[in-house]
Structure 1
Amino acid sequence: MAARGDVRFELFEAEDERETLDYDILDKIIKQLEYYFGDKNLSRDKFLQRKLESGNGWVEIDVLLTFNKLRSLTYKKWTVSAAFYWKGSQLLEISRDETKVRRKPAHPWPRRSRTELDELTVFVKGFPLNTCTDELDKFFGQFGQSVDVFMMCHNKTQRKFNEMELTRAIKQTRHAIRVKKDAEYEALAEPAEELKVVPGCLLRVTGLDKVTTWKSLKEALEPYAKVAFVDYCESKGEAVLRFIEEGAAHAVLTKLEQHGKGLHIDGNRVIVEALEAGEEVEYWKKLAAIKRKLRNRRGRHNSRSVQRGKKRRSEERSISPDNMME
């Protein structure tokens, strides 16, 4: 269970089985990708420039996952895909096969000169040595939207830089082999399943207080209908609950109207509404995409089970698609 203040996405399929995605991590993944593809970083990242040119603007997610900062957030390709499904990006888009990322055609790389970039850049010093980029983003955000925040580290020697480049090259080779194997596996994959939509079971709750947790949400609605799924974004103060039975969302609204007192959670009166038909379809598409990726991920790893270590097997069991399926 998350501590208070965590933003988490939880799927309830059984009392002891649930799959969790951290909304904060998804948001950080998008921000880090936008930094890599930002004007400032692209102007000096020769490696990424070559990848963009050779890939017609696209860069393989497997290549991006070799970058230290992104890899510290996730090493799973499907998590990057989930970040685009749930968070989205104004600057970037993911390919249809969900293996590559590029800048949107509406935001092409401007290829500004060094002089032009310098005119848009400020140099600030005096921060504590242990300051991280997330803290700098928050600090500069109060003065306006910043495209890139780059920390200058003077203690890195050329020797260390070369070692890092060599390590990155080795990782790229390993990932290239993995990409080829994954492509062969996906070529043998079964046709996509027909989208399953249970109408009238999704209920949106807005106006939530910061102290509200997924548990209090579930407990508040359980007396009206059995809850199977809780999608709670604390930073937005809203949640979407999926009930087990078809039409349960409308039934819950009817019961609340009959009581005439509305719905109160943690002492706060909230707003509840059933999702419209179009919203329901989009929501089920996103959920199906995540489940499909979990199944595919499990299948690929099972085919390579001899090569896996204990730690890797443990991680895969924790994201088993069986925990997400009905």
Structure 2
Amino acid sequence: MTNADVENASVDGVSALETKIITQVEYYFGDFNLPRDKFLQGKLKEDDGWVTIETLLTFNRLKSLTTESDVVATALRKSTSQLLEVSDDGTKIRRSPAKPAPESNKEHYQKLNELSVYAKGFPPTATIDELLEFFGRFGKCINVFMRRYAKTRTFKGSVFATFATKEEADAFLAKEDVKYNELQLMRSLKTEYMARKKREREARSEEKAKKKAANEEASAEGGDGGGDAAEKGEAPDIVLGCILRVKGLGEQTTWENLKEAFAPYAKVAFVDYTKGQPEAVLRFADEGSALAVLAKLGAQEEPLKINDNEVTAEAVEGDDEVEYWKKLMAAKQDRKNRLKNVQRGNKHQPRGRGQGGRRQERGKKRAAEADKGGDSKAKQSKTDDGVAAAE
């Protein structure tokens, strides 16, 4: 069957293409998009809520489906939601006055958050159409927001999906096992996810405040002014979503084996492992790398083996991830404090043998005298100074 055949295939008299058109246009006028779409709101005010189909065809997603106004009008007349009305001449549409759009206020967005779920574990190559189709299997999905990295705009592998009802959102989360192309998904309510991220931010702020206080205390005790800058350079940058726990390791596995095994999947920044232990923790360099690695591993036909041992991996997330970073920063701070104490102790010690200076100059002078036939006392001094310099 060709793509054209698929688009023309119909269910209850509605072709696949018409279903996509209905879904897209109803999204434009739906409860999720319309209250925040300033452009469309402005157009609605111009003509008693009517908008020309020609205007809608300037929107990229609809334009990718069709460029013909009559195709859009014909499709929308087949919709059963009764959300939209099509003008008699088939050139304009509007949201039904019997179903007014909600107001754009705090209560409205709070309600949308309660209808939304957070899902993580999608491959970076997933598209919006694929995700809409996926979530549509679990109920009426009115929006999918693909989360992206700010700098690169690449897909993080996580989304916020909004269902039409709270019951549909709860049913999605209640399912024991949800996979996307054999990849296990991590799921929660959006409100729970936001609360967890808030705790993580507070934990980072708390650690930053402690570190700042420690630096100020060290400076007050007589630091030389260069310690703060050095510590800032050494402080670990918190990178979320980069930690992977690996299980099933053999007794002969080394950290080099682990780094070599995972290097093809992502840049490994650190391997936390003691030889002989069955588990290790890997930290990757880039945000979100852990799930990206899991996605790649899941796409392989064969499980990953290290030294002939089949291993499993899981992302370290949520409270476990926060705890990991807390321990890491505390360990680094402890090492710095111990190093500072050693340096301060040395700073107040008298210069011992081997510090150079005038004694070495005297040694050189006496050595020269000895070469010229100086007395035995000069030779003995040369020997003493020579030993001191060697130390």
**TM-score normalized with structure 1 length:** 0.40
**TM-score normalized with structure 2 length:** 0.34
Larger Rg, first or second structure (1 or 2):
2
